[in-house]
């Protein structure tokens, strides 16, 4: 499969005419990353951004003591590392391949040139950044106003929406802890509490079943508390 074909299903490029897809394809190049490899580091000078075409990528920050907080986990079709394209300067976080990955790389200068002559692309990019901002405000809200059980409940409800109550975690519990702004021990304890309260049932390390959607929603909304 060539670059051209990879551009088809990407939200950022939706609705663009054929010739502009061709231009985009022309400036991009394919890069591959082995599972566990670092794609870029916080503070590193950014010369372009990526659109993931295969695999999963984790965007995260590190504390002074080495604890990590995961800002986002991206799946196929999603752009990442786009912030410094428009602010200039450095990547604001780390990016690591969670599995073997394949991504299209767009060099900054060329992409900005394309976007300047292309209002639809600009609007798509504006929509993308706005959605990210909305996401981040929700995350900030959760972190500062909810406790861990609430955040976990919200996450489970979101993941359960698709597969009717059966939740297949798309990250390890260790990763999930980082995503919820806590540590594995705490996550484990709270999952046990949720199970004891009859809200969920743990099947194995990666799957669980939602038994009481109502109850989880109350937890997520801060109406109810555990125990």
Partner DNA sequence: AAGGTTCCTTGATTTATATCAAAAACAGCC
Partner DNA sequence: GGCTGTTTTTGATATAAATCAAGGAACCTT
How many whole angstroms separate alpha carbon 135 and alpha carbon 73?
12
Helix axes 119-145, 148-162, angle to 10 degrees: 140
Q: Does 69 bind a second copy (CB under 8 A)?
A: yes
Query: In the bound complex, what is the minimum distance in angstroms from residue 131's beta carbon to a second copy?
Result: 5
Q: Does 183 bind a second copy (CB under 8 A)?
A: no
Tell me the pairing of strands 48-54 and 79-80.
antiparallel
Q: Does 15 bind a second copy (CB under 8 A)?
A: no
Query: In the bound complex, what is the minimum distance in angstroms from residue 148's beta carbon to DNA?
Result: 4
The binder of 125, among DNA, a second copy, none, by C-beta within 5 to 8 A per type, is: a second copy
Determine if residue 86 is left, alpha or beta; phi over 0 gives left, psi from -120 to 50 gives alpha, anything else beta: alpha
Q: Is 116 exposed, middle or buried (0-12, 13-18, 19+ CB in 10 A)?
A: exposed
Query: In the bound complex, what is the minimum distance in angstroms from residue 124's beta carbon to DNA?
Result: 36
Q: Does 14 bind a second copy (CB under 8 A)?
A: no
The binder of 185, among DNA, a second copy, none, by C-beta within 5 to 8 A per type, is: DNA
- Single out the residue of 95, 107, 80 nearest to residue 44, CA to CA: 95
Chain contacts with a second copy (rule: CB under 8 A)? 61-65, 67, 69, 71, 82-87, 92-93, 112, 115-117, 119, 122-123, 125-127, 129-134, 136-141, 143-146, 181, 221-223
């Amino acid at each position: 499969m060539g670059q051209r074909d990879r551009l088809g299903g990407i939200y950022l490029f939706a609705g663009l005419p054929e010739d502009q897809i061709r231009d985009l394809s022309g400036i991009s190049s394919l890069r591959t990353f082995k599972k566990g490899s670092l794609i870029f580091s916080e503070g590193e000078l950014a010369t372009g951004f990526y659109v993931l075409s295969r695999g999963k990528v984790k965007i995260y920050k590190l504390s002074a003591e080495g604890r990590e907080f995961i800002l986002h986990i991206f799946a196929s079709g999603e752009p990442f590392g786009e912030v410094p394209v428009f602010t200039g300067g450095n990547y604001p976080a780390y990016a690591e391949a969670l599995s073997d990955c394949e991504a299209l790389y767009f060099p900054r200068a060329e992409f900005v040139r394309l976007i300047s002559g292309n209002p639809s692309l600009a609007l798509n990019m504006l929509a993308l950044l706005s959605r990210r901002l909305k996401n981040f405000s929700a995350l900030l809200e959760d972190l500062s106003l909810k406790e861990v059980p609430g955040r976990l409940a919200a996450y489970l409800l979101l993941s359960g929406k698709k597969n009717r109550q059966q939740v297949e975690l798309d990250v390890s519990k260790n990763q999930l802890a980082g995503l919820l702004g806590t540590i594995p021990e705490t996550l484990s304890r709270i999952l046990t509490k949720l199970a004891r309260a009859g809200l969920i049932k743990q099947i194995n390390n990666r799957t669980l079943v939602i038994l009481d959607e109502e109850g989880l929603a109350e937890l997520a909304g801060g109406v109810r508390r555990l125990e």
